[in-house]
Amino acid sequence: MSIGMEKDSQKKMIGELLKAADRFIKSAEWNRALDEVGKALAIEPNNMYAMAYKDRINVSINEEKKKAEEEKVKRLAEEKRSGEKPAEEKKTEPAKPAEPPKAPAAEEKRPEPPKPEPAKTETKPAAPAKDDSSARLDALRQEFAATQAKLQREVAQLTMQLKEAQALKDATEKNLNGQIVALQGELNAARQNAVKVDTKETDQLRKEIDALKAKHLQDVETAREVAKADMLAQVALLQKQLEAAKANPGVEDASLKHQGELMLKGMFQKAWQDGTITNDERALLLVVKGAIEMTEAKFGALEADTRGDAYVNALRSVWSDGVVTPEESDFLTSLREKLGIPADEHFRLEGQIRKEVKK
């Protein structure tokens, strides 16, 4: 494999890997995207597109981490606010039972004796409840302060990482811009060198190409004239044989009609070699058709079959050496269009003939 073909293959592989990485980036699958970029860099470590993808993925990962940390801080703050409200309620609730003892005090006017002692016993547990809620509140405050300090440290670390990523991104963009400028300069230089190509050599090549085309057309025309002459000779011979058969009623002419059909098939195949049946060729074909009294349906079916046979013969001729040149490929394309051979039929026939050549 030549160096140019190897580079084209590498570029194609890198392109496929970067396309896969782009799909993973869109679905936020950062690790899988980095794997694809890593494969591309393994093929070409200094590939600017792969390096740009890698920087883009790292920046996205850092932004996602930063967003996750901000959400965590916000969630902890909300949990802290929701945790302070029940603590305050616990602190104020024990104070309410202290008021009922006043009601028995108002009932002292009744003849029944007042009972102030139970009121005193109910107010005593209020003090421990207050102490417990204050302790829990202080513990929550300490925990929140510690968590907040930790988050602040992590945010500062992420900020530093983000700055480093931004600096790396700027450096990468600067490197890419430099490479682009260099490539543009090489392209301009190549264009200038192309303009300096010797026009005499170009004119000479064009003359040689025109001469080859003219020779090809002449060869085609000569072959067509030879085929026409051969067809005329065969038709004349067949007509003589048929006239002789008619002059002798005892002679069976079935074999002559079969011979005429084979002749007609061969004439069709020769006529289809260039992909077009001329008016002169069709006139001769119709003469043979009338001589052997062939039906219109059978004549049309034979014409269609020989069209495919002509294309198969052309494919066999082209693939006989196992290699198809650009000129041969153009010839097959032109012949296929003239004969009306569908693309799927072409590939089927070509695959079949290639297997035959390998054997």
**Do 144 and 76 meet the contact criterion of CB atoms below 8 Å apart?**
yes
**What single-letter DSSP state applies at residue 107?**
G
Q: Is the distance from CB of 54 to CB of 22 less than 8 angstroms?
A: no
What pLDDT is recorded for position 34?
93
Same domain, 350 and 288: yes
Mean pLDDT of 217-243: 66
Do 245 and 152 sit in the same domain of this protein? no
- Is 85 part of a structural domain of the chain? yes
- The whole-number average pLDDT for the span 42-71 is 90
pLDDT at 2: 64
Number of domains in the chain: 2
- Residue-level pLDDT at 145: 80
Question: Across all residues in the chain, what is the average pLDDT?
Answer: 76
Residue where a domain terminates, one of 148, 165, 192: 192
* CA neighbor of 180 nearest in space, from 275, 49, 63: 49
| Confidence at 296, pLDDT banded by 50, 70, 90 | very high
- Looking at the structure, tell me whether residues 182 and 305 fall in a common domain: no
Whether residue 62 is contained in a domain is answered as: yes
122 has a pLDDT exceeding 50: no
Whole-number percent of the chain with pLDDT over 70: 72
Between 287 and 157, the higher pLDDT residue:
287
Angstrom distance (rounded) from CA 268 to CA 285: 8
Q: Do 278 and 254 belong to one domain?
A: yes
Among candidate residues 140, 161, 192, the one where a domain is terminated: 192
Shared domain check, 344 and 323? yes
Asked if 54 and 82 sit in the same domain, the reply is yes
Contacts 24+ apart (CB under 8 A), 102-110: none
Q: Is residue 240, in this structure, part of any structural domain at all?
A: yes
105, pLDDT greater than 70? no
**Domain range for 151:** 46-89+129-192
Q: Say if residue 237 is in the same domain as residue 299.
A: yes
Same domain, 233 and 152: no
Average pLDDT of span 158-182: 77
In a domain, 39, yes or no: no
Q: Is there a domain that residue 228 lies in?
A: yes
**pLDDT over threshold 60, residue 280:** yes
Give me the pLDDT at residue 221, please.
Answer: 63
Find the helix packing angle between 199-247 and 254-271, rounded to 10°.
170
Are 167 and 65 members of one domain? yes
The answer to whether residue 2 sits within a structural domain is no
- 214 and 340 in one domain? yes
My answer on whether 208 and 339 are in the same domain is yes
Kindly state whether residue 178 falls inside one of the protein's structural domains: yes
The answer as to whether 107 is a domain residue is no
Mean pLDDT on 55-66? 91
Higher pLDDT: 14 or 233? It is: 14
Q: Give me the amino acid identity at 160.
A: M
The pLDDT of residue 4 = 67
Q: Decide which of 192, 217, 242 is a domain's last residue.
A: 192
Which residue, among 33, 14, 15, 35, has the nearest Cα to 25 in the 3D structure? 33
Are residue 144 and residue 284 in the same domain, yes or no? no
